[in-house]
Amino acid sequence: MVQFLITTSLVLHLLTFLWIVTLLQKINNQQAPQIDEEKIKREIEDLLVAYTAEIKEENERVLEQIKLSKQKASQAIIENKQPFLNRKDAVVFKTEEQSIPSNTHTVYGGYVPPEIKSDETDMYVQSTTAQVLSLSKQGLSTDEIAKKLNLGKGEVELMIKFYQ
């Protein structure tokens, strides 16, 4: 009987050790992807930094080109008092004798930008979410808002909880 108990105890101990070893392997396997995730995050961050640096350099290059073209245009106008061709379709004139009315737009190769009519009022429609939040701020209950906007009570509650 004692031998049976010792053998059973030994078998249970071996099973326990095997179970502990498999658990440790699972834990180690779960930690390895976290290291990979951190590496991927660092790589993405480095790429974003590199892209932003490229964009900054390109923007500075474009600004320099704009400054140079403005300087060339002003020099050509001062020296020759003739139009300077910045592009094929764009002409810049220096007019000293004529005064340009304030409502006249600059003409670029025959193109005149459309005039803005101030008589027209802009029409816009609020989204349902904006309407729900507005009515909620006015102090209406969720039932009243739901009835007013033909929405479900749960939908209104969800919108309010999500944006508060």
Strands (E), the chain: 84-85, 91-92
pLDDT computed for residue 99 by the predictor? 44
Q: What is the pLDDT along the chain (164 residues), one digit of tens a residue?
A: 889 899 999 999 999 999 999 999 888 877 666 667 888 888 888 888 888 888 899 999 999 999 998 888 888 777 765 444 444 444 444 444 444 444 444 555 667 777 777 666 667 788 899 999 999 999 999 999 999 999 888 889 888 888 87
Residue 110 φ/ψ region, left for φ over 0, alpha for ψ in the -120 to 50 degree band, beta for the rest: left
pLDDT computed for residue 97 by the predictor? 43
- C-beta separation of 105 from 113 below 8 A: yes
What is this structure's pTM? 0.30
